[in-house]
Amino acid sequence: MTLNVGIIGCGGIANGKHLPSLDKIEAVKLIGFCDVEIDKAQLAASEYGVKDASVYKDYTELLENDDIDVVHVCTPNISHKEITVAALNAGKHVMCEKPMAKSTSEAQEMIAAAERNNKKLTIGYQNRFRSDSQYLHKVTQRGDLGDIYFGKAQAIRRRAVPTWGVFLDEEKQGGGPLIDIGTHALDLTLWMMNNYKPESVMGSTFHKLGKKENAANAWGSWEPKDFTVEDSAFGYIKMTNGATIILESSWALNTLDEDEAKCALSGTEGGADMKDGLRLNGEDFSKLYTTKVELDNKGVAFYDGEEEDEAEIEARSWIDSIINDTEPVVKPQEAMVVTQILEAIYESARTGKAVYFN
């Protein structure tokens, strides 16, 4: 079985992750490319597309192509819902880049469209497919940590503010590091805990270092007047069963405690963290122990014997779920809870009050 795939948004995330990963899958043909900057779509088509690949400036025209089975949405956050719902209504399966949407209501519309059209929908949380994440998930699923009642989701950069595209635009993105990289850390933590029932959230956001002129930064100094999102954000999340999660995110923060898309877990039988590789800890025969898991390979070996990174494994897993009619690893209902919590952190930061869920 061969699936024809169309790409909407041919910028950095499409070229850095989706296109090279899909290009390695024999069951995929990349036949449609769309971008509001048509030259980007043409360039992507020339590098990754089939010989007669179609190029579009308007995504609605791509969706009219009945030969396309699957659409990957790689656009700014503001358009995730609109394009995803339209693609599902057009009878396409959809992978949408993270975060799922700017708001919970938008995420709910996306899920409703998938269910209404009987099409698959997943969200691009590729960090679930890292070797340390896969191993730890097996550990937690087996119950080795017992009842996991505390989690820490960390996405901390000292000075790594993305200065290109629309990353600094609050309207188009919905936020800064919290919605950009904090979303990955939170997704990992909820997945490991298998807990998607938040009770309340307290949050704080800061726009402190973003005001600095000529700031040190991995990708060159930012323009303060363009920096309309937070530079750091923090959340305290309580789940209905009493479990608690602390979420930390920053693009710019005066700290040496840097970690991105990582989580730490504490349960009744043991704990785990990703601070120095993957470490498991616990107590045995009245003695404490720490075990460091050896993770020599970045990915897992598939039938062809090749090693793949997390983006390639994500793409292959997604395509396999369509071909075999199985659930995708990242379920849209799970991604919606991530969006729900992020939205609540922003609301709590604005109001200074806790946000409670029904």
Which sequence spans correspond to the domains of the chain? 3-123, 129-311+337-356
Average pLDDT score, the chain = 95
- In whole angstroms, give the CA distance from residue 108 to residue 93: 17
DSSP code per residue over 186-222: HHHHHHHHT---EEEEEEEEE-SGGG-TT---TT---
- In whole angstroms, give the CA distance from residue 72 to residue 62: 12
Confidence bin at 303 (pLDDT 50/70/90): very low
- In whole angstroms, give the CA distance from residue 214 to residue 314: 38
The pLDDT > 90 percentage for the chain reads: 95
Residue 329 sits at the vertex; the CA angle it makes with 324 and 335, to the nearest 5 degrees, is 130
Bridge partners (DSSP) listed for residue 284:
287
pLDDT of 306 reads 54
pLDDT of 295 reads 87
Kindly provide the b/e burial profile for residues 137-166, where b requires at least 16 CB atoms within 10 angstroms of the residue's own CB: bebbeeeebeebbebbbbbbbbbbbbbeeb
Task: Let me know: does 176 contact 229? Beta carbons within 8 Å.
Answer: yes
- In whole angstroms, give the CA distance from residue 71 to residue 56: 13
pLDDT tens for residues 167-200? 999 999 999 999 999 999 999 999 999 999 999 9
pLDDT of 307 reads 65
pLDDT of 297 reads 55
Bridge partners (DSSP) listed for residue 4:
29
Would you call 159 helix, strand, or coil by DSSP?
strand
Q: Please, where are the H alpha helices in the chain? A: 12-13, 19-22, 38-48, 59-63, 80-89, 104-117, 131-142, 170-173, 177, 183-193, 310-323, 332-351
CATH of domain 3-123: 3.40.50.720
pLDDT tens for residues 278-291? 999 999 999 999 99
pLDDT of 277 reads 94
Residue 356 confidence (pLDDT) above 50: yes
Q: Do domains 3-123 and 129-311+337-356 have the same CATH topology?
A: no
Q: Tell me the whole-structure pTM to 2 decimals.
A: 0.95
CATH fold for the domain made of 129-311+337-356: Dihydrodipicolinate Reductase; domain 2 (3.30.360)
